[in-house]
Structure 1
Amino acid sequence: MEILFDINWDILKAVLIIIGLDLILGGDNAVVIAMASRNLPKSLQNKAIILGTTFAILFRFLLATIAIYLLTIPYVQLIGGVFLFFIAIQLLLDKGDSHQNISASATMFGAVKTIIIADVVMGFDNVLAISAASNQNLYLIIFGLLVSVPIIIFGSKLILHFMSKYPMIIYFGAALLAYTSAELILKEIKLQPILIHMPLVHWIFPIAVILVTVMIGYLSRNKTAY
């Protein structure tokens, strides 16, 4: 019973983290879709959004599948964890102008191409975060990608509205990314001979990474405000 509870809790925790990451990181990709298709006739906008999102999700699945195997290579989890840490900080430092260079297309093919390219480039953080949070479980990765579809297509405006109205949501998202980055670093196989002698590090390190991330973002935002 205890083993079953541990397994179920691990899966539940991964599912909750994946949903949280999708909610926080999905909004940006939705903005890309809106901007890429804004010059299309109304009759073609929905088609471009559906086609672009479908192909983008397929590319994400391919990248996530590759990420599963990459994360088994020594030091890749350590590097990926550090990368996610910087993404968490960047989420708090973002000025909101990263989408200005996304060009709109007057043709459906052009809009779909822009959506796919921009989503693959910008969605890498989402793919890496989901792959890390899922413990390289392919079914959880598929779940995460499926959850991201309605969020990207339907929930973007709502998410962005609440993120701008309640800045604490952004801090929550950054903390979630920071926690995922810490967990990824702690899973690095090359660090296990050291970490095995430090049982408390699995509690202390994630908290420390979250605090550092939030503090950097808070100080930076306050400095910018003045």
Structure 2
Amino acid sequence: METISMEFYTALMSIIFIDLVLAGDNALLIGMVAKNLPSKQQKKVIIIGTLAAIFMRIIFTLLAVKLLEIDGLLFIGGVLLVYIAIKLLVTEENTDIRVSKKSFWGAAWTIMLADFLMGIDNIIAVAGAAYGNMLLVIFGLLISIPIIVWGSTIVIRIIEKFPIFIYLGAGVLAWTASKMIIQDAYVQPYLTNPLPIILFQLLLIFIVIAIGFILRNRNKTHISTN
């Protein structure tokens, strides 16, 4: 993939969009941790914790990119990404990480740990969307994570007000998953015609959004009746 190409910039926008959709809860937890500190330390711990989290995310995502080069793992990663796309539509992100740290370094460590544990889905999605391009991984994360941290409230409010963004996010994840699956070394020999490939990609997007829509509405009905 050339750096100056439509494919590169399309993949970059996909990575940024995936992070915006998936990582809102990470940013909220960072804010919750910072609130436990004196006001003078809050901004500093957010900056230090976020920079450390970005560094960790880049390292683990680059590792995931290399692992996806192993035959068969692209297929497994694609199937897992389908699950993540449906989960995005059906459930809210939860974490058991305690946010009661009141020391500066304790809070910074909590931010780093939280970002890693809550960001595993992001790592898989971004690694798949990068298609082996390390520069895409670094650019995408450097751009999107600061946006999430400092604009988390805006991002979450937009998603809550316009649920269509959740479905768009799930669609992007399903599209990324389909490309991972069809690019796997064990799958490619069975794909010789472009038309079945496109039909498979569109069908997978439709299935993910349809299942997510049905389960999401079922959950809402169940909550409203209790």
Identical counterparts, % of pairs: 39
Equivalence for 2:45: 48
Aligned-residue RMSD, C-alpha: 1.8
> Which sections of structure 1, spanning at least 5 residues, go unmatched?
none
- Deviations for 1:197-223, whole angstroms, at most 9, x for unmatched residues? x42132111211111111111111221
- The answer on whether the counterparts of 1:29 and 1:122 sit within 8 Å (CA) in structure 2 is yes
For 2:146 and 2:6, how far apart are their aligned partners in 1? 25
Letter in 1 for 2:111: I
Q: Does 1:156 align with 2:152?
A: yes
For 1:95 and 1:69, how far apart are their aligned partners in 2? 29
For 2:52 and 2:92, how far apart are their aligned partners in 1? 29
Task: Give the TM-score of the pair, scaled to structure 2.
Answer: 0.91
Equivalence for 1:126: 122
For 1:34 and 1:141, how far apart are their aligned partners in 2? 25
Cα deviation, residue 104, structure 1? 2.8
Q: Does 1:19 align with 2:16?
A: yes
Aligned positions, number: 220
SS, match of residue 189 in structure 1: coil
Task: Give the TM-score of the pair, scaled to structure 1.
Answer: 0.91
> Which sections of structure 2, spanning at least 5 residues, go unmatched?
222-226
Letter in 2 for 1:9: M
Cα deviation, residue 100, structure 1? 6.6
For 1:150 and 1:8, how far apart are their aligned partners in 2? 25
Equivalence for 1:109: 105
Equivalent residue in structure 2 for 1:187, among 180, 183, 188: 183
Cα deviation, residue 68, structure 1? 1.9
Cα deviation, residue 99, structure 1? 4.4
- The answer on whether the counterparts of 1:74 and 1:190 sit within 8 Å (CA) in structure 2 is yes
Q: Given the superposition, is the C-alpha separation of residues 213 and 173 from structure 1 closer, same or farther in structure 2, using an over 3 Å criterion?
A: same
Q: Given the superposition, is the C-alpha separation of residues 95 and 140 from structure 1 closer, same or farther in structure 2, using an over 3 Å criterion?
A: closer
